[in-house]
Structure 1
């Protein structure tokens, strides 16, 4: 069981909103209206940890270890939303999200293969770590710069925890289950490492997750400004090709650690995915079963 160890390690580095945020260093002259609006959007987006947690608990009822870890992840993710709202409450109270705006991003996600969802959120944590580091560099006001650095470090640690659970699944003694985990890592890793080829940023908050609510079935589509994310990345914080390259390298490196191979490109990871898919199909055929679709 990983939860006790992860709880202890995350508890040891947990930051305090009163003591670790330099509120008294705020400089109003260094915060623009444009920047303040982006803080509001991120505060609402972080609130979406609530429906994500509900999804994780629903789809992982079979895994009490991972479900227990959700208590830590949920607390720390909601704290991100809270600290951003506290910043606005202190310095731009006119932009504090309303309860209605927060509740709008709480909606049900369709069930999905748990291992694929886990890998998706692992990649999402890597991406958020880099987005927030880039945002910290873009901002000019010292307090919000510090906040973004702090929460970016949380996202990196969360990614590390998800990596541990993926590693645990791959180490499972049941060959077919372990291969399902390998297939999930390869499939989602390949898609997320190829994100630069898509028109929109690939992140859990920007993916369609409820077919009955389409097209308003992404977290971003339910924000007060649904087009905000692309504008924030492209023309505000300047998340350019160099930043994206760092994300891709981290995803491929992590996939290599999990799968025991070195991957230089998403195409190499895709070839591995096909190899694992073939192995799963062969095993299912030998057993007279239908090959699982997750790989």
Structure 2
């Protein structure tokens, strides 16, 4: 089982919202209305860990080890929503999300293959690590800069935990797991082809609710994400290459291969699928 080890590792790295965030350093002159509104949108987005956890538990009934790990992941992800809301409660209470706005992102996800979902969320953690790192650089107010840097570190550790479950899956399922990981890895590393940021929160997950079946589509401002990335934190080609590079490096290590481009990964995927 991986859960006991991961619990211990993440417990050692855990931060305390009351003591480890320098709330006293807040400088109102360094927070714009535009910046504060993006904090609200990220708080609501982080709240979607709730339906994601419900999905994971439903689709992984066969795996008590991974399901137990969800107790740690869910706690830490909901704390991300909470610390962003606490920032707004203290300094911009007019922008604090309502319970209705939070509940809007809790909806049922269609069942999906567990291995593909695992890989999807691994890639999501790699991307969020870079998004939040960039957000910390964009902000000028010191407390929110620290908060984004802190939760970026959490997302990186979550990605590492998912990677251990991916390694375990390969040991148990062999090429079935490799095919699932290569398929989703290629999709998530091909953001240039899709023309949009590839992350679990902006993918369609419930056919019956289409087109309002992405987390982003249910936010108070459904169009905020691309604006945040393109014109606010300016998550450009250099930052995107860090995401793609992170996915390819980790899959290279996991598969014992060398993937320098998404095309390399796609060729490997086709080899796995060949008779």
Correspondence 1:191 to 2:187: yes
1:215 to 207, 211, 215: 211
Correspondence 1:45 to 2:45: yes
Q: Which runs of 4+ in 1 moved over 2 A?
A: none
CA deviations on 1:199-256 (whole Å, 9 max, x unpaired) are 2111000000000000000000000000000000000000000000010000000110
Q: SS at 2:90's partner residue?
A: helix
Provide structure 2 residue ranges, at least 5 long, that are not aligned to the other structure: none
CA–CA distance in structure 2, aligned partners of residues 205 and 237 of structure 1: 18
Correspondence 1:228 to 2:224: yes
Deviation at 1:196, TM superposition (A): 2.1
Q: SS at 2:174's partner residue?
A: helix
CA deviations on 1:118-157 (whole Å, 9 max, x unpaired) are 0000000000000000000000000000000000000000
The TM-score normalised by the length of structure 1 is: 0.93
User: Hey, what does 1:79 align to over in structure 2?
Assistant: 79
CA contact (8 A) 1:61 1:67 kept: yes
Deviation at 1:10, TM superposition (A): 0.1
CA deviations on 1:141-185 (whole Å, 9 max, x unpaired) are 00000000000000000000000000001012xxxx321110011
User: Hey, what does 1:238 align to over in structure 2?
Assistant: 234
CA contact (8 A) 1:196 1:244 kept: no
CA–CA distance in structure 1, aligned partners of residues 38 and 48 of structure 2: 16
CA–CA distance in structure 2, aligned partners of residues 86 and 113 of structure 1: 36
Correspondence 1:268 to 2:264: yes
Q: Which range moved further: 106-115 or 189-198?
A: 189-198
User: Hey, what does 2:244 align to over in structure 1?
Assistant: 248
User: Hey, what does 1:277 align to over in structure 2?
Assistant: 273
CA contact (8 A) 1:190 1:269 kept: yes
Q: How many residues align?
A: 275
User: Hey, what does 1:69 align to over in structure 2?
Assistant: 69
User: Hey, what does 2:153 align to over in structure 1?
Assistant: 153
CA–CA distance in structure 1, aligned partners of residues 253 and 65 of structure 2: 22
Larger Rg: 1
The TM-score normalised by the length of structure 2 is: 0.99
CA deviations on 1:42-75 (whole Å, 9 max, x unpaired) are 0000000000000000000000000000000000
5 Å-filtered alignment, 1:25-44, equals 25-44=25-44
Correspondence 1:182 to 2:202: no
Deviation at 1:37, TM superposition (A): 0.2
